[in-house]
Amino acid sequence: MTEKHKLSPRARQRVLSALALLGFFGLWELACIVSNVSNLVLPRPSQVLAVLIDKLPLLWPHTVQTLHTTLAGFTLGVLTGILLGLLIGSSRTAYDVAYPLLVGFSSIPKVAVVPIFVVWFGSGTIPAVLTSMVISIFPVVVNVATGLANTEPELEDVLKVLGARKRDILWNVSLPRALPYLFASLKISITLAFVGTVLAETVASNKGIGNMMMIASGNFDVPMVFAGLVILAVLGVALYAVSSWFEMRMTGWAQRKTELAMA
Amino acid sequence: MTQPFVALSNVTVRYGGGTVALSETSLRIQQGEFVALVGPSGCGKSTILKLVAGLLPATSGGLLVAGRESRPGTVRIGLAFQNPTMLPWLNIRDNVMMPLKIVQPFRRDFARKRRGEYAQKVEALLEQVGLRGMGDKRPWQLSGGMLQRASLCRALIHEPQLLLLDEPFGALDSFTREELWGLAQQLWLDKRPTVLLVTHDLREAAYLANRVCVMTSRPGRILEDRALDFPRPRTIEGSYAPAFATLVQQLRMRIAEARSEPADGQRGDPVAASGSDCPPAVEPERMVA
């Protein structure tokens, strides 16, 4: 490793993924030009970018709305998920009783619950927050419960012999042990939370990226629809990155072997 | 004879599935004694340890530790297993300090003394076991032998009256193991806790203990209780002396006998005969001293 133009493996990986991204959009652009496809079907990335810049004042409030809704739903979902996970994971009986119920709830397609929320709370922000919350609960519950159930019995013995109360064991051993599981689930939940928000916005709202995309597609403004998609993707990646960063900070001990595995 | 520190009288332990792990066992351990339990695998050695620790109830019979019924928290107990079970998110110092966070009277002052007095206490103990300056390291940065030293520290930091060791050196290479025997002996000579050591290794038992108890195959009973009077401190060289080798050989024969006992069922022992539903004890290789 003496040559100076050789990049470190880490930097090389980054350059490669950046190139892959650029290459993807480049190919897309090229394919559109070559096949001369109408922008009503598939707009070129450059057109989408132009729309994004042009219509920013119009798009911005929708973006903020979707972001806020998602964050609110995600936060509520995670808190509820942690509580439920603690409840279920700390006792065998609770686990057995609640698990089928949980699986049942989580297999309901979330599109189906939006109308119910609309009936209860009217259309607008609240159904979107609730949908996003409901959709992000399940991964958190399952992971926290699994993490809690995973404490080594020997370690528990060491503490029990000292006269540790259940609370001591939970606080000193089980909870830290469950943290990596929790953070792994956060990364899944944050992307799901977006799905929930956009879903509800599409069905029953007058604000947000989902609603904006509905209207744009009704007007055959396909570049605008794609602009919405790009915004959603950017938001999703950004929040994913934030969760990952938290994960690294909080549970670096659990991932000493793997370098930052995501971009 | 004074009141024994640990007293099992006719204790039977039957697990949920009906397996008899221990039958009518009696064992007395005086304060400050170092007792080793040896026997075929699955013979209930660890069951005795868990009983004494109060982690497991006896099905019948009496168990007193320091004159009282053993329940977690009544007697100060230190516990170390074959697996060092360090918490990966804490450094070695905080791992070793964990008992102080939980056991009274240390718990009361934990918030106030953790940085000062307790940290010094941990540092002193780490230094004694040859882990000087390792307090800031994370568990994964240490070798197996070092982790086991740290595990011993965690078992001793709260000055336990009773130290329970379940094959603590079982997973180590033989050189490290012998090194740690020396260390364990030194720690015992310094602080004189009562020690109950469960082990497969007969040389280990003979090197460390004042008394060796040989157990039968499951359901376990104590077959032979033997006092050892090799002078202290014992050395590795000493463990190759003829008297030592003879003793290890005798213990070995006893265990070989114990292993064959329930299989033939000819000894008129109803307990041994009823134990035939248990899997036979295998794993003979570790028996060789």
Residue B129 shares a structural domain with residue B216: no
Report yes or no on B42 lying in a domain.
Answer: yes
Q: Which of B73, B81, B85 sits opposite A163 (nearest CB)?
A: B73
Ranking A105-119, A220-234, B118-132, B254-268 by mean pLDDT, the lowest is: B254-268
Is A167 near chain B, with CB under 8 Å?
A: no
Please indicate whether, in this complex, the C-beta atoms of B89 and A254 are within 8 angstroms of each other. Answer: yes
Average pLDDT over residues B57-82: 80
pLDDT string in tens for chain A (263-residue length)? 445 567 788 888 889 999 999 999 999 999 999 988 887 888 999 989 999 999 889 899 999 999 999 999 999 999 999 999 988 887 778 888 888 888 888 888 888 888 899 899 988 889 999 999 999 999 999 899 888 887 777 778 888 888 888 888 888 888 888 888 898 899 899 989 999 999 899 888 888 899 999 999 899 889 999 999 999 999 999 988 988 888 888 777 766 544 433 33
Contacts of B195 (CB under 8 A, 6+ apart): B33, B34, B35, B162, B163, B164, B165, B188, B208, B209
Question: What is the per-residue pLDDT for B73?
Answer: 67
How far apart CA B187 and CA B183 sit, in angstroms, is 6
Q: Which of B111, B145, B160 is the last residue of a domain?
A: B160
Residue B80 shares a structural domain with residue B69: no
Is A164 near chain B, with CB under 8 Å?
A: yes
Report yes or no on B35 lying in a domain.
Answer: yes
Which of helix, strand or coil describes residue B161? coil
For B115, the domain range is 76-160
Residue B202 shares a structural domain with residue B286: yes
Residue B4 shares a structural domain with residue B17: yes
Residue B73 backbone zone (phi > 0: left; psi -120 to 50: alpha; other: beta): left
Contacts of B228 (CB under 8 A, 6+ apart): B206, B209, B210, B211, B212, B247
Report yes or no on B245 lying in a domain.
Answer: yes
- The helix (H) or strand (E) run that includes residue A28 is helix A9-35
Residue B113 shares a structural domain with residue B242: no
| Cβ under 8 Å to A: B residues 98-137 | 98-99, 101-104
Contacts of B116 (CB under 8 A, 6+ apart): none
- CATH classification at residue B15: 3.40.50.300
State both tokens at B40: 């075929």
Maximum separation of any 2 CA atoms in chain A, in Å: 76
Please indicate whether, in this complex, the C-beta atoms of A162 and B83 are within 8 angstroms of each other. Answer: no
Q: How many domains does chain A contain in total?
A: 1
**A246 min Cα distance to partner chain B (Å):** 15
State both tokens at A197: 């928000």
Q: How many domains does chain B contain in total?
A: 2
Q: Of B226, B181, B248, nearest to B33 (Cα)?
A: B226
Please indicate whether, in this complex, the C-beta atoms of A159 and B88 are within 8 angstroms of each other. Answer: no
- CATH classification at residue A54: 1.10.3720.10
pLDDT digits (tens, 9 = 90+) for B148-196: 889 888 888 888 888 999 888 888 888 888 888 888 888 888 888 899 9
In total, the C-beta contacts within 8 angstroms joining chain A to chain B are 62
Q: Find out whether A155 and A164 touch, Cβ atoms under 8 Å.
A: no
Residue B194 backbone zone (phi > 0: left; psi -120 to 50: alpha; other: beta): beta
**ipTM score:** 0.70
Q: Which residues of A touch B99 (CB under 8 A)?
A: 162
Report yes or no on B107 lying in a domain.
Answer: yes
How far apart CA A72 and CA A129 sit, in angstroms, is 6
Question: What is the per-residue pLDDT for B282?
Answer: 41
Residue of B nearest to A249 (CA): B89
Report yes or no on B51 lying in a domain.
Answer: yes
DSSP A137-187: HHHHHHHHHHHHHT--HHHHHHHHHTT--HHHHIIIIIHHHHHHHHHHHHH
Residue B222 shares a structural domain with residue B277: yes
Is B77 near chain A, with CB under 8 Å?
A: yes
* DSSP bridge partners of B12: B60
Q: Which residues of B touch A158 (CB under 8 A)?
A: 79-81, 85, 154
Please indicate whether, in this complex, the C-beta atoms of A162 and B89 are within 8 angstroms of each other. Answer: no
* DSSP bridge partners of B34: B195
For A63, the domain range is 44-252
